[in-house]
Amino acid sequence: MEKKKHKILIVDDSEMNRAILLEMLEDEYDIIEAEDGERAIEMIQKHETEISLILLDIVMPKIDGFGVLKIMEQKRWIEDIPVIMISAESGASHVEKAYKMGVTDFISRPFDALIVHKRVVNTILLYAKQKRLMSIVEEQIYEKEVRSSLMIDILSHIVEFRNGESGLHVLHVRTLTEMLLHYLVRITDQYKLSEEDIAMIGVASALHDIGKIAIPAEILNKPGRLTDEEFAQMKTHSAVGAQMLKELPIHQEEPLVQIAHDICRWHHERYDGRGYPDGLKGDDIPISAQIVALADVYDALTSERCYKKAFSHEKAVQMILNGECGTFNPLLLKCLSELSDHIRDELGNNFADSSNQREMRKVVVEMLKYEDLSSSEITHRLLEHERMKYSFFAEMSEEIQFEYTSVPSMVNLSEWSAKKLGLSEIIVEPMKNEKIVNMMDTENMNSLIKMLRNTTPEKPVVQYDCTIKLNGEDRWMRFICRAMWSNDEQPQYTGAIGKVVDIHDARIQRNNLEHMAAHDWLTGLFNHNYAKREILDRIKKRPDSKFAIVIMDLDTFRNANYTHGHLFGNKILKETANKLKQNIRSDDIAARIGGDEFLIFMEYKDGISAAIERIMSRVSGKYEEFVISLSVGLAETDIVGADYDKLFSAANQALSVAKKTGGGKYMVYNDTMSDISSELSPIDVIKDNNTNL
Amino acid sequence: MTLKECYAVIGGNYDDVVSRFHSEKIVKKFVLKFLNDSSYELLCSSMKDENYEEAFRAAHTIKGICQNLSITRLYEISGQLCEALRNGFTPEVPILVERTKEEYKQTLTAIKEYQRQNEVV
């Protein structure tokens, strides 16, 4: 298979300079080019994992080389992608700054083609090697993590049941097991044990006695000698422990679990075949179990138990070597005897402390060694996975999704969003970007940013509706954003993530519905319901003002309908409504409340007659051949009080008086009408302005 | 006219450039490519618009290219212009612009002549 070429990104605003570098490198490398810093950032974003090296100029439009480095640092790209800076700016301060910002190399112009070529090759090789090493180490660490988390799974399961009898026992056995194994592989290669195996046996040794949780506490903690029956029961712990591991619901095929099983089952076997449960002999007993058995006996001897005092280290070793505590593999006895002094020192008085410190030191050394590894490489796979997931869902959702960082001021759009908006995926200084400013009002932008800054880490989500110009059309959009706050003690606002949803159609529809709900379909005036709501609101807000409700109807409207048809009737109504609209004040409310009935609500100070007369004279007149004439009734809060229903019915009574007395005039309600209104005869003239008749 | 002779006319260092590029062929390719470079136009237009930031970049690019190609005379004069423009307009800018333009034109004329003769051959 053809080897894949490494990709190099050349960033230089001079086409000529790029061409020269291209000439030197294109045979061996896959070259991509960017003509300024902004474009470079876009390309790094897009090809991040593929780029093996960046050749970067300093002086460029939009974002210069140092700007690119700054963003690379923020995005942590600089940790994985080597940068060679090439510039005519060879001043010491420039070079120093470049190195400080993480460039791998600095080449000044005029350069020697061979040198550039050689440095490029070297840098790429170096980084490739480092990456390989990182992935090897990463795998090892990963395995270690899995193993320890597995241990925690099992142990935490068991700890609940454990009695506190043996305190450091588990730790002692483990330490001793590892020491003996390390020594064993030095004196013989009989057992084919790798470092990996030794570490695993050490970890698994902690589980050797887990079967004891099935033994009754009275037996476990009995101070005196066990009866034969009790001892028989005690002996079951090895088989029981092995059984437990065999029945683990998960992790069954892990080597660690298999080793732990062997240790559990056979750590009471004896080299001479007289142990339990299976009576295995010699090296039929797995070496792991043999070693743990020895470590177990040693620790039992040197610890105080409920049935015995502790023996000294020397005494314990002596007893074991003398065969007083069972028969062991001679090789292991050799290990024990030769390691004796070392064991005493290691498991001495300050064992717990020293062992913790040792663990701690190991952890620290490991962390120092792989500092950048834990942060970048180990999580890289996961991040890559998350990134793919994110971009897939972003695309599926068909929503504009973005990420905004405040310093440096930068917007990151999802691929789909960028395409949709006709913007690039990365926009530096968005508030100064011409396309963005054209799209979104600065005022809206500032309001949104202010809202985000005013959030708290506890309540970081805001919603903001405004219009955005898309393809020349203003559309209503909803921003749903989450402000990002740092984890510091004093959280810092660092930017926001969010999405923008097109709510234009929904909003327009809602506006239409609202309009329809409030307005009369024919004339465009308010409808009765809405007018009533507005009137109630108005009265409530201004209790000291004087208001009047005016109801009017068209005197001979029924004739118009009969003679000219409904369409003509509708025209009359529209005409009347239009004239009303034109002749009321902007604060007045006009509504059509029934067939040919209109309502006007107005505030007044001294008198209302002049206004009514003006409206009547303007609205009345001829429409085509039809004469428009109005009858009007009105009721004032001065007389009736500020109650809508009373005002309305009073105005109606006044209207019917006006009608019954010939129409074409207006009547102001007064108390005399309250009883007689319906019985009024045309002769009971109260007031007649004689218009239109 | 050979490339070496052309370099003599434009006040460049032929030996230096060939030693750095390790091939006369490549040098020739880029010297001819210099004819298409647009930095000169950018310098003229940005000076006219009094956009000194852009003028600086144009001068900087000319300087960089000439440095790469060891076109020493134009490199030096454009370098001076570059420094004069680094922090915006300074009194010596106009004269340096004129001298850069003059030198640029001469260089271009010589390279065009070299191109013409070598096409014929």
| Mean pLDDT score, A524-546 | 89
A591 & A478 share domain: no
Q: Of the candidates A504, A533, A549, which is a domain's last residue?
A: A504
A204 & A332 share domain: yes
| Mean pLDDT score, B96-117 | 92
- Residue at A152 is within a domain: no
A222 & A117 share domain: no
Interchain pair A114, B34: CB under 8 A: no
Give percent of chain A with pLDDT exceeding 90. Answer: 21
| Mean pLDDT score, A516-524 | 83
A491 & A532 share domain: no
Interchain pair B37, A15: CB under 8 A: yes
Chain A interface, Cβ < 8 Å to B: 13-17, 19-20, 23, 59-61, 88, 109-114
Instruction: Reply yes or no: is the peptide bond before residue A330 cis, omega within 30 of 0.
Output: no
DSSP annotation of A401 reads: E
- Residue at A340 is within a domain: yes
Tell the residue number behind the tokens 């708290």, with chain if given. Answer: A456
| Mean pLDDT score, A569-595 | 89
Q: Which of helix, strand or coil describes residue A589?
A: strand
A97 & A214 share domain: no
The shortest CB-CB distance from B61 to any of A14, A112, A113 is to: A14
Task: Give the relative orientation of helices A330-346 and A313-321 as an angle to the nearest 10 degrees.
Answer: 180
Note the pLDDT of residue A472: 83
CA-to-CA distance for A200 and A196, rounded, in angstroms? Answer: 6
**What are B27-85's pLDDT values in tens digits?**
998 899 888 888 899 999 999 999 998 999 899 989 988 998 999 999 999 999 999 99
- Residue at A376 is within a domain: no
- Residue at A394 is within a domain: no
Q: Could you give the ipTM of this predicted complex?
A: 0.83
| Closest residue of chain B to A24, computed from CA coordinates | B21
Residue B34: its chain A contacts at CB < 8 A? 16
Interchain pair B37, A14: CB under 8 A: yes
Distance between A95 CA and the closest CA of chain B, angstroms: 17
Local confidence band at A306 (pLDDT 50, 70, 90 cut-offs): low
A70 & A210 share domain: no
CA-to-CA distance for A671 and A677, rounded, in angstroms? Answer: 10
Weakest mean pLDDT among A311-315, A319-323, A424-428, A448-452: A424-428
A173 & A64 share domain: no
Weakest mean pLDDT among A236-240, A482-486, A621-625, B80-84: A621-625
A137-151, A336-350, B46-60: which has the highest mean pLDDT?
Answer: B46-60
- Residue at A565 is within a domain: yes
Q: Which of helix, strand or coil describes residue A337?
A: helix
In terms of CATH, what superfamily is B3-120? HPT domain (1.20.120.160)
- Residue at A167 is within a domain: yes
Distance between B30 CA and the closest CA of chain A, angstroms: 7
- Residue at A149 is within a domain: no
A579 & A641 share domain: yes
Per-residue pLDDT at A147 exceeds 80: no
Strands, sheet with A83-87, edge to edge from the N-terminal-most edge strand: A30-34, A7-11, A51-56, A83-87, A105-108
Local confidence band at A282 (pLDDT 50, 70, 90 cut-offs): very high
Note the pLDDT of residue A550: 93
Instruction: Provide the domain limits for residue A668.
Output: 519-679
**What are A371-403's pLDDT values in tens digits?**
444 444 545 556 666 666 777 777 777 788 888
Residue A111: its chain B contacts at CB < 8 A? 20, 68
The shortest CB-CB distance from A14 to any of B17, B29, B64 is to: B64
| Mean pLDDT score, A340-352 | 72
CATH number at residue A443: 3.30.450.20
Q: Of A91, A92, A71, A89, which is closest to residue A81 (Cα–Cα)?
A: A71
Mutate to test the interface with A, among B13, B15, B20 (most CBs of A within 10 A): B20
| Mean pLDDT score, A535-564 | 87
Distance between B1 CA and the closest CA of chain A, angstroms: 24
- Residue at A355 is within a domain: no
**What are A165-199's pLDDT values in tens digits?**
444 677 788 889 989 998 998 888 888 888 788 88
Per-residue pLDDT at A213 exceeds 80: no
CA-to-CA distance for B121 and B118, rounded, in angstroms? Answer: 5
CATH number at residue A643: 3.30.70.270
| Mean pLDDT score, A594-618 | 88
Please give the distance of CA A288 from its chain centroid, rounded to a whole number: 48
Number of folded domains in chain A?
A: 4
CA-to-CA distance for A608 and A651, rounded, in angstroms? Answer: 14
* CB neighbours of residue A242 within 10 Å: 22
Distance between A112 CA and the closest CA of chain B, angstroms: 4
CA-to-CA distance for A94 and A106, rounded, in angstroms? Answer: 10
CATH number at residue A332: 1.10.3210.10
**What are A83-125's pLDDT values in tens digits?**
999 887 767 788 888 888 889 888 888 888 888 888 898 888 8
Interchain pair B57, A109: CB under 8 A: no
Query: Bigger pLDDT: A335 or A470?
Result: A335
Residue A19: its chain B contacts at CB < 8 A? 30, 33
The shortest CB-CB distance from B68 to any of A15, A17, A61 is to: A17
Local confidence band at A136 (pLDDT 50, 70, 90 cut-offs): low
Distance between A58 CA and the closest CA of chain B, angstroms: 11
**What are A460-472's pLDDT values in tens digits?**
889 898 988 888 8
A298 & A434 share domain: no
Q: Within A375-503, where are the H helices?
A: 378-397, 415-421, 434-439, 442-453
Q: Is the Cβ–Cβ distance between A676 and A650 less than 8 Å? A: no
